[in-house]
Each structure stands twice: as C-alpha cells, then as structure tokens.
Structure 1
C-alpha cells in the first residue's frame, strides 16, 4: 500500500541526551622521580566506588519502574496499538454496578489530556492519595524529543466508579512518524481502508496522513458513542484542525448507533456524549474575559448547532475573575457550548503554599461540574458496567466494519475540496 515507503524522506526529531552532574575525581596520582605512587585523596577511590554502586542501583530501580509502568499500561489497554479491542480487562475492572460515569478525553499532543483526566478522577502517582492507578503523563525528555506518551486507548476505574478513557493524540507528528516507519499497517487499520464498489469491497490506497486522519475519526466516533462526557482539550486558542475533527464526528457518529439498532443490537443508547471544550495552559496575557469570550463565540458559530456540543452543563464564567461579558448574554444557557479554560500551572517558589493556585481552583471547579452531570440521560436505566463493556466492543466492531469514513475520504480526494479542512 502506498504511503508507507520507508525510503522516502521523513522528518525525524532529534533526541537530546542529558547527563547528570557528578563529581569528577582525579586519579590521585603523583609522580616522584621514576616511581609512580597512588594515594587516596579525600577518599577518591571510595567515592568512585560508592558512586558506581549508587548509579547501578538507580539504574536498576528506574528499569524496575519502567517495567512496572509498562505492565500496568498493557493491563489497562482498551484499544491496543494494533487497533484491536482488548476483551481481557472486563473481569478485573468492571462489575454489575449500574451507577457509573464514563469520561473520555481527546486532543492534540502535549495538551495535558492525561493530567486533566487524573485530576478529575482523583488519580495520583502517590498510591496512598490516589483513588486508582494514574494515567502516565509525558516526561520532560519526551516533550523535548517530540514523542507522545499514550498509545491507543487506556482505561482506568476510580474508587467512585468513574470510568476514564485516555486516548493517543490526534493529528500528531509523532504518531505520523510511527506510521511512516511501519512497513505496513495492521489488519484492523487495513480494514478501515476498504471502500465500497460495484463488485463489493476493495482495498484502497491512502497516504500516511490519510490513515492518521481516518484513525482519529474512528477513535473520536467511538468515544462519543460510549462515553457520557468527552473532554476536547487543546492548548492554544485557534486549533481549527481539532474543530474540523469534531464536525466530522457530528456527521459520522449517529450512523454507528443507527446501524447497530437496525442490526438488532439490544439496548442501544439514544444519545451521544456531551462534548466539553477545554482550553488548557492559557497564558496570563490571554486570561481576560474579552479574549475568552472571543474563543467561545468562535466555538458557538462553528459547532453551536451540533446537538452534543451544547447544553450549558459546564462553564468557566462562574469564576469571579471571569464574569460573562454582555456580548454573550444573549445566548441562553441551554444553547451555550460547554466551554472551560484552564490557566497555566505555575510552581510556587515558596516552601509553603497558603492558597491554592488559580490553575488548581479552576481545575477543581471543572471536576465538580463534570462529576455533576447526570449519567442516566445517556444509557438506558439499569445498564451495568459489564453490559457497557459489551456495548463498547460492539461499537468498535461497528466502527471497523463501517467503511463510510474511508469512502467519504477517498471521494473527497477526487474533488476540488481535496486538502480542505484537514482532508
């Protein structure tokens, strides 16, 4: 299949290596005539030996932590990197409880998706303070090298029965590089690249960018069919590519549930998830009511007619520092886009923190509003967690078998609209 030529020129970000600062000890030699005598200077030999032992111990502990993190990530993988649904995690995570909330997240690379989801669900990297296993966040070295942390779709369950779904970044350069390095896509991805013809289905040819876009739409359609709330996170004010992706979801997502209902699948939810747009890492220069209102008006004009994007359940205007301007007063609450902003997180230089930061205050407010959404409006009353998991499996199979996304993509490639809006 074209688009996977490994000989083509690809951009590869450089990986920067770092060395820890250490004490350089001299060999402790001095020459007296023709004889060379070695002596201990300030415990030089003992210091080097102890440093080597400490380095081995630190390396061993770091490798243990990486292996443990890899095992946890593999054990809590809902959709693998091969784009396959993992059916082995239902028994150890889910039960017959009917009072649960499903929160998903989608967004670009480095937007803070995993960190926001950890805060909402009460996950922490400190086991004694956590309500469940935390999602791994990208390390500093990963940010420098341009690599992403989450692959596929990860699932976690909190002690409050909040099911969290963390996803890989959409339209990411790091993910695109992985596709270019792959000699061929997996079987599940190849199934998405089939288009209908008069003689049935046939495999189609697509570039790596097209495969990446189709995978992003499939993942977004899956989330909006199985979640109560989906957080659409971006770290800058004008992410048009992500908004175009949500518009595609508005077009394709209802067809999945409709097709499954016609196929005889019982207990099909009649509503899509509520979309909550979160702008993270807003700098202080943009932390003004007029600038925030400008972004909400953009969202209101672009996707305000989508049924799953409105509702007024989540709003950042309840903060005293962000009072709603008169330019938005004409929009009724039930017609407002679910929109929230988070300021940049700054570490306090003081040893004691008498007051929480503005970032933490807004994050706690977002958490209360998300957990306050009534989940009974999404699924049928009485659906258990295990029944929800079987519904997720059916939705993913429907997304994989439905080739309308790929067919629409390839038809647009043959028109004058090719390349417009991320296509």
Structure 2
C-alpha cells in the first residue's frame, strides 16, 4: 500500500504510494503487453489460496487458482548472483512467524540455521528451495510491477489554523448500516456527520493528504499534541464505508481537466491548487472513505503490517495476488528501476496485497517511507517477471 493509491484502499492492515496512488488514480488505464497466450492449463485444485497442486511427475508445473508455476534451474533467474540476498533474511524470518501451508518445516530450518554471510545464505536457499517461473494460466510470463510507500504527513491532535481535515476512527454504527454513508453524505448530511462526531484521531491541512492516507490504507503522522509536543504515530487501516473506490485521476481525465500523462500525484495537486473551488467535487467523485486506528511506532525502522500480518521491509517486501503467490513466499523479482533502464533484480518476500493487485505476474513493491520512497513509488510502473522459491520437501 500501485497511482498505487487507488489500490491500497482495499488492503487489510497494510502500508500504503504515491506511485501506487498514481497507479491507483489511473486504476489500470495502462498495462504491459503480455506474451501470446499458450494453451490453457487444467483448472487449479480446490482447497483455498494456499494449496499448491502436487506434480504428477518430476518437472511438472504446479497449479494455483490464478497462476501456473513452471520449475526452472537457478541459472534462469536474471542477476541471481548479484543480489545481497542476506538483506532479505529479516523479511523471511518475519513471514516465518506466520508460515503458510507447506512452510512450517522450512521456516523451522531457517530459524535454526540462520546464515552468517552471503555465501551461506545463497547456499541455504539453493539447497532448500526450488525456483519456479510464475506464469498466467495461459502461459504469459511478463506482467507489471508498481510501487507503494508509507506516507508521512504533518497533523494536529486538535483542529487549529489550517489543520481542519479530520481523520476518523470507525464509527460505532459502521457494521450496522450496509453500505455505509458515501463520502459526500458524510460531509453533508447531519445524521452522517453525527456518526463521526467524537471519532476524530487527528487533523491534517490538505484534504488530498487525507485522501492519500485513505487510498494507501495506512501512514505515519508527525503529530502536534495540544501541549505543543511532537511525536510520530502510525495510522493503520481499520475499515471502510463499503462503497466502491473511484479514481480521482480518471475522473479528471474523463472530464477533460487533465491529460492522461498529467495524472500523477503532483499533476493532480497542481490542478487542485488551480481549482480550489472544485476540490470538494473532486473528492466526492470517490465515494469510498477509509477509517483508521492509531498505533504506536516503537521501531521507526519497521514498516506497517501487510496482509500477512507481519511488518513490511523496505525494498524486500511486495504485495501480490494471494491466488497466485501465497503470503510468506520468497520471490525473485526482475524488473527495472522507475523511469530507468537500471536493473531491479532482487530477492523479496510476498507479504501484502491490494485490491488492484490481481493476476499471476503482478506485484507492488514496498519502497518504505520518506521523500525518496514517495518519489520512487510514484514513478514505478515497469515490466515484470517473477520466480517463486518453494520448499523442495523433506530432504534425504
């Protein structure tokens, strides 16, 4: 939690990207061409998203509901010898706190045999795991990677000056009214406004910053308390109003307000500055509202919890479609840096998902937090190839 803003609002307890935001803003207006489809494979087995079919013969593909995994040699992984794979070990260990089906024994082994250097880390991976190329059921092996990050926004505990845009905890009647009030109704109807009264966590100055937090699903607040003290807290996803997400970027494009190439977060903010009288109309075009809970930030070096329920690691965590890749799976990712031809080839771990992260070869790359993470995430929309690393089974 890639504008990958749009994608993040459906995430369960995850981080949020202005890159995601932009990807989300466009909600999939563009894509990466796929290879010509191959003959369809048989349907995936029943049993849920964490069940992988056992091959009937050595070298057979493993089937998942939305993907086919084709076994390959380690030599197929581009750049495998160039990554510092030991940097991904902390992310792998966090996933092993909540191991997926098929991972219990391998996770226990990883904890007992923690590598001390790059060579031992690479040797452990190659002896315990088998690489599989991820393909669509039709055989397409190329897809799309976007990026997301955790916003860091200035806020005030109480309304003061320009800090007048509230961020709310879930209202008490959220589970009673289905669907809940829309964004416009929450802003205009007395009964809807009454449901939010007293549920304010903090106030921000820019309504688009509030929208970023809601699309991303979580973020950090640099919070001014009533006594003037400053502290940083995290807002985590706590629910939404059960209304559909609508892209504000697409809304602007469809009305001829901006061109598609201008639908970046800076472009949308520039439009808002030039059209302050229409900002409310822009916001109301997206009826979905996200509610938060406040969490302490005991370790600022850890990211928010992803859908797997473990803290995300900057540069080593990705969001995936769990119908393609189970949470906790190590993944070799091959792409390029945003707006660059520089290779991005590294070991990451599938620990999160998002409502727009759908399909076999689809990932959202978690960049972390801060200005650089925001810039990288906001620009990322690259061709992608993926390989999962799956336990070989009991060793002799």
TM-score range, shorter chain: under 0.3
Higher alpha-carbon Rg:
1
Determine which structure has the larger helix proportion and give its number.
1
TM-score (norm 2): 0.22
Higher relative contact order (CA 8 A, sep 6+): 2
Determine which structure has the larger strand proportion and give its number.
2
